[in-house]
Amino acid sequence: MLELKIPGLAGKAFLVTGASTGIGAAVAIALAGQGASVGVHFHTSEVDARRVADHITSQGGTAFLVSGDMANHDSVGAVVENTATHFRRLDGLINNAGDMLGRVPTEDSSETHDREVVDLNSLSVVWACRAAIPWMKREGGVIINTSSIAARHGGGGGAVLYAAAKGFVSTFTKGFAKEVIKYGVRVNAVSPGVIKTRFHERHSNEEQMKAMVATVPMGRAGTPDDCVGTYLFLASDVMSGYVTGQTIEVNGGQFMI
């Protein structure tokens, strides 16, 4: 948890999708710690999401629990609308929800799996952004998408479609940033590397983790807290007001531009 006060976040309202665990939970807690009101989104992990929201409120912050399937168009719209309506504003959207949905080689995949991966990791970002813009037109805002190092190197075994979906996120970030800057809305992305979260607990065994960490110059996997500062930087107009259309890598040096 960062003790540094980031200017320009207090009093703002943010929605963090996929905020029940991992990077999303860390970002939601950090934003609340900066004085922002936070929509804590979850789909199936309600217990974890309530724990995040309870932590925020116990520290004097404001949290709103909101549930919804980010792979469903109408559900995504409802998640954004319910959060914005609750706070009567929406200043920031953190599109963090996503998952590999299993390591499945492309030749073994099915149309159903293909669509589930793309809907959750790619189209959910489009749908959420589209729903958020009418609110952000009022006073401007910030959108931060979560990409992945996989978008740069194509992903590991059984993760090609996930990597391609994250590549979509990185490209969409650039294009959408151009479309909405006229409304005073900045759009950027964070691209985490190997981060210790439930994502890797589900999809990477010990041998795979060791192999990935061996390629990281800093010699370790990252943590959700290692990512938080980049999200806060991009969320603050004072800190990054002239930054848009960018994807910032947070990977311990595993990939260098």
The CATH code of the domain that includes 187 is 3.40.50.720
Residue 157, Cβ neighbours under 10 Å: how many? 10
Question: Can you state the angle between helices 111-118 and 160-180, rounded to 10 degrees?
Answer: 40
Model confidence pLDDT, tens digit, residues 86-125: 999 999 999 999 997 888 999 999 999 999 999 999 999 9
Considering the domain boundaries, does residue 35 fall inside one? yes
> What is the C-alpha to C-alpha distance for residues 69 and 177, in angstroms, rounded to an integer?
25
> What is the C-alpha to C-alpha distance for residues 224 and 115, in angstroms, rounded to an integer?
28
Considering the domain boundaries, does residue 193 fall inside one? yes
Considering the domain boundaries, does residue 140 fall inside one? yes
Residue 120, Cβ neighbours under 10 Å: how many? 23
Number of domains present in the structure of the chain: 1
> What is the C-alpha to C-alpha distance for residues 81 and 109, in angstroms, rounded to an integer?
34
Model confidence pLDDT, tens digit, residues 40-92: 999 999 999 999 999 999 999 999 999 999 999 999 999 999 999 999 999 99
Considering the domain boundaries, does residue 7 fall inside one? no
The answer for 256, left when phi > 0, alpha when psi is -120 to 50, beta otherwise, is: beta
Considering the domain boundaries, does residue 152 fall inside one? yes
Considering the domain boundaries, does residue 77 fall inside one? yes
- Which residues have C-beta within 8 Å of that of residue 41, sequence separation ≥ 6? 15, 16, 17, 18, 19, 20, 24, 49, 66, 67, 68, 70, 79, 83, 97
Please tell me whether residue 213 adopts helix, strand or coil conformation.
helix
Considering the domain boundaries, does residue 4 fall inside one? no
When pLDDT is averaged across residues 211-221 and rounded to a whole number, the result is 83
* Options 162, 183, 231, 242, the catalytic residue: 162
Token reading at 185: 């809305």
For the question of residue 183 being annotated catalytic, the response is: no
Identify the domain containing residue 176 by its residue range: 13-250
> What is the C-alpha to C-alpha distance for residues 159 and 165, in angstroms, rounded to an integer?
10
* Torsion angle of C-alpha atoms 60, 196, 4, 138, degrees rounded to 10: -70
Percentage of the chain lying above the pLDDT 90 cut: 78
Model confidence pLDDT, tens digit, residues 14-50: 999 999 999 999 999 999 999 999 999 999 999 999 9
pLDDT beyond 80 at 211: no
Considering the domain boundaries, does residue 256 fall inside one? no
Please tell me whether residue 37 adopts helix, strand or coil conformation.
strand
